[in-house]
Amino acid sequence: DCRSFCVWGIGREATLAIIKPDGLLGNYTETIKATIAHSGFKISREKVVQLDEEGAANFYAEHSTKKFFHGLIKYMTSGPVLVMVLEKENAVSNWRSLIGPTDGRKAKITHPDSIRAICGADVEKNCVHGSDSPQSAEREISFFFDTPSGSQRGGDDEHDEL
Ligand code: UDP
């Protein structure tokens, strides 16, 4: 059974991280990247993307029937995002622990050291994304990136438009 880690190398798992528009425009990128580095992740791919409505709706298709969907799409298209592939052992669950609970306001109380506690404002504007399972990670990574890291497609990732 080959999940995302098979693509990235034995013992390693890959997850998709996004610094959302409020995180990027609020100048939290450096702080977040410092946490990523201290936690032993390798950033194998990254690019800045301006999502359009169709792209954001596809990415969050599983939430299309939810009440918050329209607001979420508006939020995610309100400015550029920084998309990153993070690699390490147990990358998916590790990154989820680091970002903390969905609601940034609650995170400040229950998980004060989490990333969302630091830069998340509320249940919508929570400054970062993390894949919730290896299966989601695989889908989400291929949503943003054509080819695995280390392949021939290099150097053209920065500031791609979706
Ligand atoms: N979201 C929202 N209202 C809610 C729940 C979620 O606006 O009541 C937004 C929020 O930005 C969240 C995203 O929708 O990160 C996806 O929701 P999910 O439940 O998958 O949370 P996550 O996995 O990002 O913690």
Does residue 46 have its Cβ closer than 6 Å to ligand 1?
Answer: no
| Phi and psi based region of residue 155 (left: phi greater than 0; alpha: psi -120 to 50; beta: remaining) | left
Give the pLDDT confidence score for residue 21 in this predicted structure.
Answer: 98
Catalytic residue list: 129
Across the range 106-117, mean pLDDT stands at 98
Rounded Cα distance, 47 and 49, in Å:
6
Higher pLDDT, 8 or 155: 8
Whether the Cβ atoms of residue 14 and residue 83 lie closer than 8 Å to each other: no
For 41, 72, 127, 158, the CA distances from 21, given in Å and listed in that order, are: 22, 11, 7, 16
Single-letter amino acid, residue 121: A
Which of 115, 124, 131 has most ligand 1 atoms within 8 Å of CB, for mutation? 124
Measure the CA–CA gap between 53 and 55, rounded to whole angstroms. 5
* Domains defined for the chain, CATH in brackets: 11-49+80-144 (3.30.70.141)
Tens digits of residue pLDDT in 23-56: 999 999 999 999 999 999 999 999 999 999 999 9
Q: Of 42, 45, 34, which is closest to residue 82 (Cα–Cα)?
A: 45
Cα–ligand 1 centroid distance for 124 (angstroms)? 6
d(CA 132, CA 125): 18
Write down the pLDDT at residue 22.
98
What is the complex's ipTM, to 2 decimals? 0.99
Instruction: Give dist(CA 30, CA 117) in Å, integer.
Output: 16
| Percent of the chain whose pLDDT exceeds 90 | 82
Dump pLDDT digits (tens) for 121-156.
Answer: 999 999 999 999 999 999 999 999 986 554 444 444
Binding-site residue numbers for ATP are 20, 68, 96, 102, 116, 126
